Structure 1
């Protein structure tokens, strides 16, 4: 039996990772800012972090820290070295080295810190999760007109499939950069928006809006996609059906005007 510490273990990705590791018979400790007994803010570290890592074989770093991620990774690595952790597994995002979004830059910097840490490591990059796209579209659908970034594709995937792969990697030997993992389809945001509207019964006009900047251009160019690693099985329509219990996406082919897709992990 291996002892794992999963950071962000109560989150959208971390929770199913914990479930899979426990189902395989391993001891799993959950580290989260608000979840005793290891309620730790990684940006601050401290003695409780050292206690959480005592006797841990493998760390799976799933915590999603929007600001201060570099310091959080430094604190985690320092404590992991003191605890003589054998293997550190990190979830990252496809395109962190190609799309100059601030959050992507921070994730890429975290990757490099891990690679130079002296701890054996595995890094898995995935495309964005269905849950993120759902939150994005729900926000954009609040006004009567959905304003969508123009000409940006996306390749969303089911988070539990990412969790399954991440747990598999964590239970194996350190692999360095694992093969990227992407959703089953590259879609336009207009198609995704149409599927969302059909699933929820909302009526909105979808309008594409051109943006400026290198980050937007990187997204338009598909820097965040992994079409050659389209290993995900669950489509966005299937995800919506599981959430809303309807035949989601039946109107996708007659999608409103234009569309695109945003960013995120």
Structure 2
């Protein structure tokens, strides 16, 4: 197929594009600024304004929609931008659009997740045959969170919050397989191989980094805390990924044997 990838320069996009090429697909990728890359057709397009979207979707068979703006302009990019993309794709006759979302967007009460859920609904209501893949959090996200939580010495967090890190390369493989399988017209969830409590993740992270910083437990209050402790970010869906949090730590920090 000829496949358009939005968000191709992001953490997931950087592993999706080579995976598509390995599987024999022709790749067109969007960027807000012109780029050149042998083997990939780059087109300038902006979800926030709609500029370039008609050209981006012209002649493609499928779309992997990975673009997102979690920090600012989220509604404009994730919701309205997704609507612009879906409309353009429908007019171009695109046969399948796969949208990547996050496990828990329908349960965890944070604004970014509400926008992701709204974008899912835009995709489902649109004219293009569709699939949604909700993935659990990447280990890089958990690593960044632990770094931020340790800025003032001890690692601060709710020890009972549950997480299920999944490797981006495994999510990429699942996305490409879902695209090739045809429209699901539904939601599939995909998570990592193990569910970890926050304190378990912290212990392994400290050991890999040879850190003696203690965990300072702080119970997250309210509905958000209850939802995260009750597994709002995890899934029992099968199949699951195979690369563990320990695998990520070994790759990143050399595991517990690094000197």
TM value normalised by structure 2: 0.90
Cα displacement (A) at 1:242: 0.8
Give the secondary structure class of the aligned counterpart of 2:252. helix
Q: CA offsets per residue over residues 132-159 of structure 1, 9 Å max, x none?
A: 1111112212221111134211111111
Matched, 1:63 2:67: yes
Give the secondary structure class of the aligned counterpart of 1:132. helix
The 1:204/1:155 distance shift into structure 2, 3 A limit, reads: same
| Pairing of 1:49-88 with structure 2 (within 5 A) | 49-66=53-70, 67-68=74-75, 69-88=78-97
Preserved contact between residue 155 and residue 183 of structure 1 (Cα < 8 Å):
yes
Cα displacement (A) at 1:195: 1.2
Cα displacement (A) at 1:221: 1.3
Preserved contact between residue 121 and residue 174 of structure 1 (Cα < 8 Å):
yes
| Pairing of 1:31-46 with structure 2 (within 5 A) | 31-34=30-33, 36=35, 37-46=42-51
Cα displacement (A) at 1:212: 2.0
Cα displacement (A) at 1:205: 1.2
Question: How many angstroms apart in 2 are the aligned matches of 1:196 and 1:39?
Answer: 39
Alignment-derived partner of residue 168 in structure 1: 177
The 1:239/1:150 distance shift into structure 2, 3 A limit, reads: closer
Preserved contact between residue 148 and residue 207 of structure 1 (Cα < 8 Å):
yes
Alignment-derived partner of residue 258 in structure 1: none
Matched, 1:209 2:218: yes
Preserved contact between residue 150 and residue 211 of structure 1 (Cα < 8 Å):
no
Give the secondary structure class of the aligned counterpart of 1:199. helix
Alignment-derived partner of residue 182 in structure 1: 191
Question: How many angstroms apart in 2 are the aligned matches of 1:40 and 1:95?
Answer: 29
Question: How many angstroms apart in 1 are the aligned matches of 2:200 and 2:34?
Answer: 38
Question: How many angstroms apart in 2 are the aligned matches of 1:143 and 1:203?
Answer: 13
Query: RMSD in angstroms over aligned alpha carbons?
Result: 1.7
Q: CA offsets per residue over residues 18-77 of structure 1, 9 Å max, x none?
A: 11111111110111334534232211112x221111101101001122212111111111
Q: CA offsets per residue over residues 176-201 of structure 1, 9 Å max, x none?
A: 22531111111111111111111112
Shifted more, 161-170 versus 77-86: the winner is 77-86
Give the secondary structure class of the aligned counterpart of 1:156. coil
Give the secondary structure class of the aligned counterpart of 1:231. coil
Question: How many angstroms apart in 1 are the aligned matches of 2:158 and 2:34?
Answer: 37
The 1:34/1:134 distance shift into structure 2, 3 A limit, reads: farther
Matched, 1:222 2:227: no
Q: CA offsets per residue over residues 60-104 of structure 1, 9 Å max, x none?
A: 001122212111111111211221211100111112112221111
TM value normalised by structure 1: 0.88
Question: How many angstroms apart in 2 are the aligned matches of 1:183 and 1:117?
Answer: 30
